[in-house]
Structure 1
């Protein structure tokens, strides 16, 4: 199993960021996959990472065997939710990361977890990385994700089994976007335990559902 930090985030080295950040991240994924032995892989990608992997499937058909795209926030399928969503990048530019974070979490239906009462050195370092991540997210990545449009014909023809997954938080933007994309691809979303971050909130149940989904690789091209 391989995990990685995308360009500009967490432990990745500072690097030049392209205007097309989603496309650049997708190209970076392909550079990583080219270094891995064993042929096509299966990928779980969540949220903005799922957008990156959908773009990757368009650019590199067949490089991934199965993509489980968990709650990709595709703007096209948000409907009235998009009209009511605040301008988070604008809030970030005018008021800073803390104001943007509060507005984003509230509009997305997420709860901000309380900080640890006695944080360890590792938790402090993680908090600093996350703050840096949100600086990049609100300033560059969120606008790029919001502007991304799926090429449904290319995704259907990509040779990758695309499984659009959603959690149990119906009515939240990422959930509804996932449902919309799954139906646009001709199917229904696969339900996973937990909410948008179910992989951390309910890891054992989420992992079992993921294993079950990957074991069905030979059944359908799109689900």
Structure 2
């Protein structure tokens, strides 16, 4: 699949929002979803998967081309799961495999719990399930401090605290370069919504392991080979313990699908093909 592959775009009106979505390829349906990462973030991975699949990507509610009727409405996990269910139903090519990364993995797990008939397999790649961690109480306080720091206008400070909590080891000078100068207004708007209305609800969501074990949807937990010891690595392993399944490794770190789309697509297809 080359960069010139045909991409069909559309808008689906859902309660409280309008969802931008993109479709590539043909074959079994795979949905790639983030939160707050948008469709563009998944485009390279989608291009490679579209050689053998219909691939759906979307801007999650409140971000980029998916505006909310009320911009001050929080991004609830169950609302995002319902959005995915409506998109899959709208395309009428399901049930789907759903690959969710970070906050999108939380959305995908909620989709499996609430709409298992629409999902054959969920690949939850590094969900930030804070409440599963042994130090959840202190992590909760750190999240609130991050949100308060951003609300006070210290953008660089908030991002530094976020990267520190995530154990990503991003140097201060890099954070300043990334978030201290002129920036894309669309990215800033997405960031503002995420800090104010999404980060808290996403990290506070608690899955229902007995329900996830009971639904017919296959659940796969993915972790980056370079993510050892990080926040999402630890949360993912706690989820694996709760579900009684061993996480599988994918190329790269928390955003390995961005940095290594070819290798990541091959690994994802390999994992999906395994019984």
TM (norm. structure 1) is: 0.85
Offset of residue 205 of structure 1: 1.3
Q: Report the secondary structure of 2:97's partner residue.
A: strand
C-alpha distance in structure 1 between counterparts of 2:152 and 2:115, whole Å: 38
1:65-84 correspondence to structure 2 within 5 Å: 65-80=120-135, 83=138
1:50-109: CA deviations, max 9, x gaps? 101111111112211111100001112322376257221122223443321221123213
C-alpha distance in structure 2 between counterparts of 1:133 and 1:164, whole Å: 27
User: Structure 1's 61 and 15: CA in aligned 2 closer, same or farther, altered over 3 A?
Assistant: same
Offset of residue 145 of structure 1: 1.1
Aligned partner of 1:107 in structure 2 is: 165
Instruction: Work out which of the residue numbers 113, 118, 132 in structure 2 matches 1:63.
Output: 118
Aligned partner of 2:190 in structure 1 is: 133
Q: CA RMSD in A?
A: 2.1
C-alpha distance in structure 2 between counterparts of 1:59 and 1:96, whole Å: 38
Say if 2:101 is the partner of 1:46: yes
Say if 2:196 is the partner of 1:142: no
Q: Report the secondary structure of 2:152's partner residue.
A: helix
Q: Report the secondary structure of 1:44's partner residue.
A: strand
C-alpha distance in structure 2 between counterparts of 1:12 and 1:21, whole Å: 15
Aligned partner of 1:30 in structure 2 is: 85
Q: Report the secondary structure of 2:220's partner residue.
A: strand
Aligned partner of 2:220 in structure 1 is: 163
C-alpha distance in structure 2 between counterparts of 1:165 and 1:61, whole Å: 19
User: Structure 1's 133 and 20: CA in aligned 2 closer, same or farther, altered over 3 A?
Assistant: closer
Instruction: Work out which of the residue numbers 63, 81, 91 in structure 2 matches 1:9.
Output: 63
Aligned partner of 1:154 in structure 2 is: 211
Q: Which stretch shows the higher mean deviation, 75-84 or 60-69?
A: 75-84
Q: Report the secondary structure of 2:233's partner residue.
A: helix
Stretches of structure 1 that go unaligned for 5 or more consecutive residues are: none
> Alignment length, in residue pairs?
208
Aligned partner of 2:51 in structure 1 is: none
C-alpha distance in structure 1 between counterparts of 2:205 and 2:109, whole Å: 10
Q: Is this contact kept in 2: 1:179–1:189, CA < 8 A?
A: yes
1:190-209 correspondence to structure 2 within 5 Å: 190-209=248-267
TM (norm. structure 2) is: 0.70
